[in-house]
Amino acid sequence: MRRKLVAGNWKMHGSLAENEALLSGILAGMGSVTADVAVCVPFPYLAQVQAKLTGSAIAWGAQNLSQQAKGAFTGEVSANMLKDFACAYVIVGHSERRAIYGESDELVAEKYAAAQAAGLTPILCVGETLNEREGCITEAVVARQMDAVIAKCGVSSLARAVVAYEPVWAIGTGVTATPDQAQAVHAFIRAKVRELDAVVAEGLVIQYGGSMKAGNAVELLGQPDIDGGLIGGAALNAEEFLAICRAG
């Protein structure tokens, strides 16, 4: 039986004071949560989050990393640096990084490999744009994004990863994929992995992301192949985030 994983992606939000209030609020409500919970925070706040969450039921991680292990890469952050702050997770291939920072499928696969080499669990984001959905190539796009990682690291690597299906048109727009739309792509991803390794496929946690909030979480998380959520805007409000966690 797969456990649900609800993870907050804070993106470029927060401050020391805001984070303190947000984390205190989430911690106060965790008693009623049975899902696994994590927060993926901006790099400068990892020390704060580590100090606040060590010993709690909430794991933490980052939103990006370098594909390089170390060296003259100004401005970059390595997987081992994230391990220094006891990160469990790191998001790779978020659509904002693919679209705004030009990250290719191959670069995302390299980052995924770097994360796993350091013992971090990558949260691999995949998903189609509105144009791609309207062009009926959603499955082809998601398959291509998955294949880049499988080609580099093998299907067995997915036993140590999380996949997040995030339709780009649903991110930050208030437009959520319907439970049926999301379930169809989740089932496609699992079937694709199953063709290569049935055991890995059954154990693979596939999160949904894209305008998930308290009001739609129960229905989305009730779908057979939706194993959690990757939450943007709603993760910045303790009560809203906790409501999603309780739905998981």
Containing 17, the helix (H) or strand (E) segment is helix 16-29
State yes or no: residue 61 binds ligand 13P (CB under 6 A): no
Compare residues 85 and 89 and give the one whose CB is closer to ligand 13P: 89
For residue 166, indicate whether it is catalytic. Answer: yes
Query: Shortest Cβ distance from residue 224 to ligand 13P (Å)?
Result: 22
209 binds ligand 13P per the rule CB under 6 A: yes
212 binds ligand 13P (CB under 6 A): yes
**Count residues contacting ligand 13P (CB under 6 A)?**
14
Sign of CA dihedral 211, 216, 217, 220: negative
**Cα-Cα-Cα-Cα dihedral sign, residues 102, 164, 21, 27:** negative
Q: Which of 94, 103, 110, 132 is catalytic?
A: 94
Please give the Cα distance from 198 to 215 (Å, whole number). 33
93 is an interface residue for ligand 13P by CB under 6 A: no
SS3 54: coil
Return the residue nearest ligand 13P (CB atom): 232
Among 78, 116, 157, 211, binds ligand 13P (CB under 6 A): 211
Distance CA 58, CA 132 (A): 35
Residue closer to ligand 13P (CB basis): 155 or 228: 228
Amino acid at 103: E
**From candidates 65, 171, 189, 245, binder to ligand 13P by CB under 6 A:** 171
DSSP secondary structure string, 78-142?
-HHHHHHTT--EEEES-HHHHHHS---HHHHHHHHHHHHHTT-EEEEEE---HHHHHTT-HHHHH
Query: Percentage helix, strand, coil, to 5, in the chain?
Result: 50, 15, 35
User: Which of the residues 96, 110, 132, 166 is marked catalytic?
Assistant: 166
Q: Is 94 a catalytic residue?
A: yes
Helix (H) or strand (E) holding 178: none
Q: How far is the CB of 63 from ligand 13P (least distance, A)?
A: 8
Please select the residue that binds ligand 13P; options are 210, 226, 227, 241, rule is CB under 6 A: 210
Return the active site residues: 94, 166
Give the footprint of ligand 13P on this chain (CB under 6 A): 9, 94, 166, 171-172, 209-212, 230-234
